[in-house]
């Protein structure tokens, strides 16, 4: 049998094509703001109020009229006390207000003097309601220690945009404008399959009893976790049955209930396996050779649904990842991650790279764009994991990111390279 020559695709072209298929899922869920982390907003969130709602003090101290404090060392009576949560009265001229952080600035006051610069004279008589007087040791600047109303958010402003992926900080911001629930795109439903007759599940066979040629299924573990981190609901079907008809049945069944079927292994050129013909029988399949290392083979397809469920249309996406663990891992991060974020309506799907100095040499240029596993060192540079083979998963554990190295480029110690942190790629 002749091995088909597949077109070599650039990563950018592959990503653009893949994102072109990633129509945002229909279906919006209203979730509690507490559960927003990692989800993608389905609508713009507009603030119905200013944050903070009114001018307030950013210090414990005394609210004053600057006109009353022209020189340091003067003494003024305290006419009221305004703790956080209270609202004071207009500040009488020639007096100051005892005020605490977060308390509203009384009308007429135009500065706060921090308590460290004030000296109460000890003439207060709390039981008689007398607040005493205070010596003011510094001359205030108008506006000092006042947080202005609307300084964080103004009424009517779009605070969080449709397509934004929520973070803990955005949950806090949503809460600060009074939102107890948020509309987010529903979770993608993903069916995960592993392929390969050599695969054994940890726990099924002890290491000392592993038959020759068998290996543990490692991809299943990181793929399931990566999918979950991206907000997916995962049905893990384990290892694909090794018969054609059983594979077709399993995929047809999975397609009915899921938005994406993700497989690892069995997409190499010329490999005999059941997944490819099964997907072709049920829909369509494109095999790509992507010009990256690790991670060359990749498959994208669509499986037609016999019965179209209400939400999700009449097609289920299919993505086949390479089997080599590091290829599978890197390809997931570079292609499947943006695809899944876009399915949820995410706008910012590309990872951000940082320019950093290489503290290693990479003398052998490759024809393909490479993603080298590296780690930041204390000297502000990048160290390289010595074994960059696509089967060496240790490199992805030792490393804290990858260098995105263009095709044909060698690296000399001290060269500036593009570093993409795993934090960027795995969140
Ligand atoms: P394949 O893409 O199926 O040709 O597999 C390429 C290499 O990856 C082979 O050495 C497989 O044994 C290995 N491999 C495939 N799937 C897995 C998996 N789930 N876990 C670990 N290694 C795998
Ligand atoms: Mg295989």
pLDDT tens readout for residues 131-184: 999 999 999 999 999 999 999 999 999 999 999 999 999 999 999 999 999 999
Predicted confidence at residue 308, as pLDDT, reads: 58
The per-residue DSSP string of 246-274 comes to HHHHHHHHHHHH-SEEEEES--STT---S
Nearest ligand (C-alpha, residue 267):
1
CA of 272 to the centre of ligand 2 (A): 9
Asked if the bond preceding 52 is cis, omega within 30° of 0, the reply is yes
Predicted confidence at residue 1, as pLDDT, reads: 44
Q: What is the pTM of this model?
A: 0.92
pLDDT digits (tens, 9 = 90+) for 192-210: 999 998 999 999 999 999 9
> Cα-flanking dihedrals φ and ψ of residue 250, to 5°?
-65, -45
**Ligand 1: which atom is nearest the Cα of residue 198?**
12
Identify the CA nearest to 32 among candidates 225, 166, 160, 154: 166
Which of 197, 324, 394 has most ligand 1 atoms within 8 Å of CB, for mutation? 324
Q: 91: how many CB neighbours lie within 10 A of its CB? A: 23
Which of 323, 331, 390, 392 has most ligand 1 atoms within 8 Å of CB, for mutation? 323
Which of 193, 195, 196, 272 has most ligand 1 atoms within 8 Å of CB, for mutation? 196
**Residue closest by Cα to atom 17 of ligand 1:** 323
Predicted confidence at residue 3, as pLDDT, reads: 56
**Ligand 1: which atom is nearest the Cα of residue 220?**
19
Predicted confidence at residue 342, as pLDDT, reads: 98
The per-residue DSSP string of 363-394 comes to ----SSEEEEEEEE-TTSSEEEPS---TT-TH
Three-state SS at 223: helix
**Residue closest by Cα to atom 14 of ligand 1:** 323
CA of 286 to the centre of ligand 2 (A): 18
Predicted confidence at residue 6, as pLDDT, reads: 67
CA of 28 to the centre of ligand 1 (A): 37
Residues 93/64, Cβ–Cβ less than 8 Å: no
How do strand 215-216 and strand 199-200 relate by DSSP bridges?
parallel
pLDDT digits (tens, 9 = 90+) for 357-376: 999 999 999 999 999 999 99
CA of 196 to the centre of ligand 1 (A): 7
- State both tokens at 165: 């992926």
Predicted confidence at residue 306, as pLDDT, reads: 73
Nearest ligand (C-alpha, residue 270):
1
- State both tokens at 327: 């290829």
**Residue closest by Cα to atom 23 of ligand 1:** 323
DSSP for residue 413: T
- Residue 14 exposed, middle or buried by CB count within 10 Å (0-12, 13-18, 19+): buried
Q: Residues lining ligand 1, judged by CB closer than 6 Å? A: 194, 196, 198-199, 215, 217-220, 264-266, 268, 271, 322-325
Predicted confidence at residue 97, as pLDDT, reads: 98
Q: What are the residues whose beta carbons fall under 8 Å from the beta carbon of 190, sequence distance 6 or more?
A: 227, 232, 233, 234, 235, 258, 259, 260, 261, 262, 340
**Residue closest by Cα to atom 16 of ligand 1:** 323
**Residue closest by Cα to atom 10 of ligand 1:** 324
- For the chain, which ranges sit under pLDDT 70? 1-7, 270-271, 307-312
CA of 268 to the centre of ligand 2 (A): 8
Residues 199/239, Cβ–Cβ less than 8 Å: yes
Predicted confidence at residue 122, as pLDDT, reads: 94
CA of 325 to the centre of ligand 1 (A): 7
């Amino acid at each position: 049998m002749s091995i088909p020559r597949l077109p070599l695709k650039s990563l950018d072209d592959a990503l653009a094509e893949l994102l072109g298929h990633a129509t945002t899922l229909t279906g919006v869920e209203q979730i509690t703001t507490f559960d927003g982390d990692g989800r993608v907003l389905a609508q713009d969130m507009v603030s119905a109020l200013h944050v903070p709602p009114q001018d307030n003090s950013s210090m414990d101290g005394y609210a004053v009229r600057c006109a009353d404090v022209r020189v340091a060392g003067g003494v003024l009576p305290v006419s009221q006390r305004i703790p956080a949560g209270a609202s004071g009265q207009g500040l009488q001229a020639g007096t100051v207000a005892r005020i605490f952080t977060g308390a509203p600035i009384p009308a007429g006051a135009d500065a706060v003097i921090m308590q460290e610069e004030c000296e109460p004279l000890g003439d207060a008589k709390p039981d008689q309601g007398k607040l005493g007087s205070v010596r003011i040791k510094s001359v205030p600047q108008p506006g000092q220690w006042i947080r202005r109303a609307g300084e964080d958010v103004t009424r009517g402003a779009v605070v969080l945009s449709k397509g934004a992926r929520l973070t803990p900080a955005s949950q806090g911001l949503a809460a600060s404008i009074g939102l107890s629930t948020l509309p987010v795109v529903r979770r993608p439903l993903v069916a995960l399959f592993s392929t390969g007759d050599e695969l054994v599940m940890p726990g099924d066979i002890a290491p000392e009893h592993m038959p020759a040629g068998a290996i543990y299924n490692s991809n299943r573990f990181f793929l399931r976790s990566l999918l979950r981190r991206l907000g997916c609901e995962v049905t893990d079907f384990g290892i694909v049955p090794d018969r054609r008809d059983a594979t077709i049945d399993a995929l047809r069944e999975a397609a009915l209930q899921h938005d994406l079927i993700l497989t690892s292994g069995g997409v190499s050129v010329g490999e005999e396996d059941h997944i490819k013909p099964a997907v072709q029988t049920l829909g369509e399949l494109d095999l790509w050779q992507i010009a990256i290392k690790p991670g060359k083979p990749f498959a994208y397809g669509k499986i037609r649904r016999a019965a179209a469920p209400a939400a999700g249309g009449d097609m289920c996406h299919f993505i086949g990842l390479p089997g080599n663990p590091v290829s599978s891992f890197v390809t997931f991060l570079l292609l499947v991650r943006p695809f899944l974020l876009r399915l949820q309506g995410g706008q910012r799907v590309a990872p951000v790279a940082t320019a950093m100095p290489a503290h290693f040499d990479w003398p052998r240029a490759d024809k393909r764009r490479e993603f080298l596993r590296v780690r930041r060192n204390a000297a502000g540079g990048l160290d390289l994991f010595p074994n960059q083979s696509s089967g060496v998963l240790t490199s992805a554990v030792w490393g804290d990111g990858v260098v995105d190295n263009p095709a044909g480029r060698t690296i000399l110690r001290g060269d500036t390279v593009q570093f993409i942190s795993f934090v960027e790629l795995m969140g």
